[in-house]
Amino acid sequence: MTTTSLTILKLDSSGRKSGSVSRQLSARLVNRFARESEVNVIERDVAGGLPAVTEEWIGSNFTPSDERSEVQTALLAQSDELVAELRAADVLVIGMPIYNFGVPASLKAWIDLICRAGETFQYGENGPEGLLTGKRAIVTVASGGVPVGSPMDHATTYLTQVLGFVGITDVTYVSATGLAMDSDAAIKSAESEIDALNISQLLAA
């Protein structure tokens, strides 16, 4: 076992609390890291619901921090907490089911709250620049019938784009695809992929 210590942000987005394959796989992945490294795990379950981006929220976000009212500061409190979790993490583990060819609404709400100019990205001479560099993300995907990487898959392509936008460009997907046809085989394949990960190499990269 290595002596490397790292912080993992484990983010689950499935609407199912029990019987969720994406949750099962994200937990297995975190345990896989824990067998080879000292880990501090921040757990964030977004399926319980996050506040929507509103006109008031947008106005608060674009008000300079030293000029915000108490009400504006309170409106941004949840977003500030989510951004702080991301900043603290070395590794982001996301459990993501594919719903109707895309990401769950709960995960989209999280994305809307963490994509903030001056906090997780900035505008430079060449356009947007991500500020959360030096991190990696591993996403455990559960899909009933949408093959990951296929033209029907608008979930992983979107998530890769968003993560890259905030500076996280090292993204790996572990997928249990075809759960509606043969769930046992799909889960076993994903579990084997997780078990085969070279964690030491990932930590050294």
Q: What is the 3-state secondary structure (H, E, C) of 98-125?
A: CECCECCHHHHHHHHHHCCECCCEEEEC
Please tell me the predicted confidence (pLDDT) of residue 2: 45
| Residue 36 to residues 81, 152, 201, Cα–Cα distance (Å) | 28, 36, 11
**Structural domain spans, the chain:** 5-52+89-204
Determine the Cα–Cα distance for residues 48 and 138; give it in Å rounded to an integer.
22
What does the alpha-carbon distance between residue 146 and residue 176 come to, in Å, rounded to a whole number? 10
Pairing between β-strand 121-124 and β-strand 136-143 as defined by DSSP bridges = unpaired
What's the confidence (pLDDT) of residue 48? Answer: 83
pTM: 0.94
Q: pLDDT digit of tens for each residue in the chain (205 aa)?
A: 445 689 999 999 999 999 999 999 999 999 999 998 899 999 999 998 899 999 999 999 999 999 999 999 999 999 999 999 999 999 999 999 999 999 999 999 999 999 999 999 999 998 999 999 999 999 999 999 999 999 999 999 999 999 999 999 999 999 999 999 999 999 999 999 999 998 877 766 6
Q: If DSSP codes are grouped into helix, strand and coil, which group holds residue 126?
A: coil
Superfamily of structural domain 5-52+89-204: Flavodoxin domain (3.40.50.360)
